Amino acid sequence: MSSIHLTAAEMASALSKGEVSSVELTKEHLDRIALVDGKINAFLYVDSEGALTQAEAIDKKRAKGGELSPLAGIPIAVKDILAQKGIPTTAGSKILEGWRPPYDATVISKLKAAGVVILGKTNMDEFAMGSSTENSAYGTTQNPWDLSRTPGGSSGGSAAAVAAFEAPLAIGTDTGGSIRQPAALTGIVGVKPTYGGVSRYGVIAYSSSLDQVGPFGRTVLDTALLHEAIAGHDERDSTSINAPVPQVVAAAKRLDVKGMKIGVIKELSGSGFQAGVSARIAESLELLVAAGAEIVEVSCPNFEYALAAYYLIAPSEASSNLARFDSMRYGIRIGDDGSRGAEEVMSATREAGFGKEVKRRIILGTYALSSGYYDAYYGSAQKVRTLVKQDFEKAFAKVDVLVSPVTPTTAFKIGEKSSDPVAMYLSDIATIPVNMAGIGGMSLPVGLAEEDGLPVGLQIMAPLMQDDRFYRVGATLEAALLAKWGKPILSNAPDLAAQK
Amino acid sequence: MAAISRDDVAHLAKLARIEMLPEELDHLATELGQILGAVARVQEVATSNIAPTSHPLSMSNVFRDDVVKPSLTNEEALSGAPAKVDDRFKVPQILGEE
Domain boundaries, given as residue ranges, for chain B:
1-45
Give Cβ neighbours of residue A103 (< 8 Å, ≥ 6 apart). A83, A85, A202, B72, B76
Look at residues A196, A181, A202, A273 and name the one whose alpha carbon lies nearest to residue A238. Answer: A196
- Per run of 10 residues, the mean pLDDT along chain A (length 500 residues) is 93 97 98 98 98 98 94 98 98 98 98 98 98 97 98 98 98 98 98 98 97 98 98 94 96 97 95 94 98 98 96 97 97 95 96 96 95 92 97 98 97 90 85 98 98 98 98 98 98 89
Burial class of A340 by CB neighbour count within 10 A (0 to 12, 13 to 18, 19+): middle
CB contact under 8 A, B61 and A380: no
**Would you call B56 and A376 a contact, using CB atoms and an 8 Å cutoff?**
no
pLDDT attached to residue A143: 98
- Known active-site residue A79: yes
State the pLDDT at residue A499.
79
- Looking at beta carbons, which residues of chain B come within 8 Å of A363? 9, 12-13, 16, 18, 28, 32
Among residues A229, A406, A33, A114, which one has the least CA distance to residue A213? A229
pLDDT at A471: 98
Which residues from B are below 8 Å from A198, CB to CB? none
**Cβ pair A174, A440 in contact under 8 A:** no
Looking at CA atoms only, how far is residue A328 from chain B in angstroms?
6
Please, which residues have CB within 8 angstroms of residue B8's CB and are 6 or more apart in sequence?
Answer: A367, B29
Q: Is pLDDT above 50 for B98?
A: no
Domains of chain A, start order: 8-303+385-493 (3.90.1300.10)
pLDDT at res. B97: 55
Whether the ω angle into residue A154 lies within 30 degrees of 0, i.e. cis, is: yes
pLDDT exceeds cutoff 60 at B1: no
Average pLDDT of the segment spanning B6-19: 96
The reply to whether residue B83 touches residue A333, judged by beta carbons under 8 angstroms, is yes
Question: How close does chain A come to B76, measured CA to CA in Å?
Answer: 6
Q: Is A154 one of the annotated active-site residues of the chain?
A: yes
Distance to chain B for A120, nearest Cα, Å: 20
Please answer yes or no on whether B79 and A100 come within 8 Å at the CB atom.
yes
What are the chain A neighbours of B96 within 8 Å (beta carbons)?
341
Q: What's the complex ipTM?
A: 0.94
Catalytic residue among A69, A132, A136, A178: A178
Q: Is A338 exposed, middle or buried (0-12, 13-18, 19+ CB in 10 A)?
A: exposed
Taking an 8 Å cut-off on Cβ atoms, the answer to whether B16 and A362 are in contact is yes
Chain A partners within 8 Å of B16 (Cβ) = 319, 350, 362-363, 366
Chain B residues whose beta carbon lies within 8 Å of the beta carbon of residue A205: none
CA A155, A159, A162, A165 torsion-angle sign: negative
Q: Which residues on chain B are in Cβ contact (under 8 Å) with A100?
A: 79-80
Residue A361 to chain B, least CA–CA distance (Å): 9
Of A195, A239, A363, the CB nearest to B28: A363
Contact list in B for residue A359 (CB cut-off 8 A) is 18, 20, 24, 28
In this complex, do B82 and A421 lie within 8 Å of one another by their Cβ atoms?
A: no
Quick one: chain A helix, strand, coil %, rounded to 5?
45, 15, 40
**DSSP label at residue A314:** H
pLDDT, tens digit (0-9, with 9 covering 90-100), for B62-87: 888 999 999 999 999 999 999 999 99
Beta-carbon separation of B52 and A386 below 8 A: yes
Cβ pair A421:B89 closer than 8 A: no
DSSP state of A255: -
Residue of B9, B31, B54 lying closest to A209 (CB–CB) = B54
Mutate to test the interface with A, among B34, B36, B42 (most CBs of A within 10 A): B42
* 55-94 in chain B: CB under 8 A from chain A: 55-57, 59, 61-62, 64, 72, 76-77, 79-83, 89, 91-94
Q: Give the residue from A331, A326, A345 showing the smallest Cα distance to A94.
A: A331
Fold assignment, B1-45: Histone, subunit A (1.10.20)
Alpha-carbon distances, residue A230 vs A106, A109, A466, B78 (angstroms): 8, 9, 16, 29
Contact A87, A102 (CB under 8 A): no
Per annotation, catalytic residue among A154, A278, A404, A418: A154
Q: Quick one: pLDDT at residue A419? A: 80
Across the interface, whether the CB atoms of A305 and B40 are under 8 A apart is answered: no
Mutation target vs B (from A363, A417, A436, A461; most B CBs, 10 A cutoff): A363
Region of residue A339 (phi > 0: left; psi between -120 and 50: alpha; otherwise: beta)? alpha
